Structure 1
Amino acid sequence: MSKSIGMVELSSIARGIETSDYMVKAAQVDLLKSSTVCPGKYMIIVGGDTGDVKASMKEGILQGAEYVVDTLQISNVHEQLIPALTGSATIDERGAVGVVEFYSIASAILAADDAVKAAQVKLIEVRTGYAIGGKGFFTITGDVGAVRAAVKAASENRELFVQSTVIPRPSKQVFDSLL
């Protein structure tokens, strides 16, 4: 089975917490993230084998009912995506920096997965909605050409895309602020 992730975003915090409990009880999944997001919503991200994530998502959508505002499911996620989502990514080398921003959390997660599949880059972080008005964005580092290719792959023809940038030689202070 492939490593997969699923996300349910709800407009109710109380229903979100309850739904996360149903989701982890419905299948053998890891609760990767379960938290409030701006503006006053709740996000649940689970990971595991594809079949278990599908079962968990089905239960999450059922229990979240009318409070579900967005969902996402990715089968065969890139190995860097989960550490970048959970804040446990490690960066050994400094390079160019790419930033890609979306109005949607789901769009940012999908685009981050596409970016690391498109080029030899390292995901620094995928930020999901908290203290950024419900937006999502991700940061990557690597060789400037690879970062440009990854940013292009992540931002082309995307719904809810806001902006992207590539910084070829970021200052140490700026790079350190991203870690």
Structure 2
Amino acid sequence: MMSRSIVSFEFKSISKGTEVTDEMIKLAEVQIVLFRVICPGRLLVILSGDEDAVRTVFNKGNEAGEGHILDSALISGIKDTVIRALTSRVMMPPKGALGLFETMTISSGIKALDSTLKGGNLNLVKLQIASGISGRLVFTVSGDVSDVEQGLKSGKDAIEARRIINTSIIRSPDEMILKYIT
């Protein structure tokens, strides 16, 4: 059995993104995880399936959407925590240090999140996707300081530096910060 994988596309055109998504889902057995306008004129599409199907639609999407794609990512063997976070608001309470990671695009942010979680023994505390934050992705993880440091490093290494707005580590967060983070 192949591991679950996802593909994420951010289209600069809602109509073109819808057209390309229709082509992709007709091409291989994939499911729509997210399909929504994330800010004026931008469409976010996330599809999941086995690695071969996702790779097929990733190639098709990049070809058919050429010139209309702001960012895209293919993530093989994605952590279940990431899929759950994309489809619900259930997160873990913070324990220990906090790590915050902010990206220019959602596709790169999801890739960084998956690598961050794989890079350390961390809990995902919060995931913010685009709405009201100009198409950005911000996530917060928690754990031991060394795990947070290693996780954020793994996230940084997974994406282009130009896609990263900032990363921060709060070693001992104040209770008021924890109240507003969750």
Q: Which TM class, normalised by the smaller chain length?
A: 0.7 to 0.9
How far the C-alpha of 1:146 sits from its partner, in A, is 1.6
Q: Output one character per residue of 1:97-132: Cα deviation in whole Å (capped at 9) or x when no partner.
A: 210112232322221111111110012344333321
Conservation of the 8 A alpha-carbon contact between 1:112 and 1:126? no
SS of the counterpart of 1:66? coil
Of 62-71 and 99-108, the range deviating more from structure 2: 62-71
2:39 counterpart residue number: 38
Q: Segments of 4+ in structure 1 off by > 6 A?
A: none
Letter paired with 2:47: V
| Superposed counterparts of 1:71-82, under 5 Å | 71-82=72-83
Of 26-35 and 164-173, the range deviating more from structure 2: 164-173
1:110 counterpart residue number: 111
How far the C-alpha of 1:176 sits from its partner, in A, is 4.2
Task: For structure 1, list consecutive stretches of 5 or more residues without a partner in the other structure.
Answer: none
1:163 counterpart residue number: 166
Go from structure 1 to structure 2 and tell me whether the alpha carbon gap of 1:174 and 1:26 turns closer, same or farther (over 3 Å shift): farther
Conservation of the 8 A alpha-carbon contact between 2:9 and 2:107? no
How far the C-alpha of 1:23 sits from its partner, in A, is 2.5
SS of the counterpart of 2:80? coil
1:55 counterpart residue number: 56
2:146 counterpart residue number: 145
How many residues get paired? 179
In structure 2, distance between residues paired with 1:46 and 1:175: 32
How far the C-alpha of 1:83 sits from its partner, in A, is 1.6
Q: Output one character per residue of 1:78-110: Cα deviation in whole Å (capped at 9) or x when no partner.
A: 232212223344315633221011223232222
In structure 2, distance between residues paired with 1:177 and 1:87: 19
TM (norm. structure 2) is: 0.83
Letter paired with 2:20: T
Name the % identity: 29
Go from structure 1 to structure 2 and tell me whether the alpha carbon gap of 1:35 and 1:173 turns closer, same or farther (over 3 Å shift): farther
1:131 counterpart residue number: 132
Of 52-61 and 85-94, the range deviating more from structure 2: 85-94
Task: For structure 2, list consecutive stretches of 5 or more residues without a partner in the other structure.
Answer: none
In structure 1, distance between residues paired with 2:31 and 2:96: 32
How far the C-alpha of 1:158 sits from its partner, in A, is 4.2
How far the C-alpha of 1:164 sits from its partner, in A, is 1.3
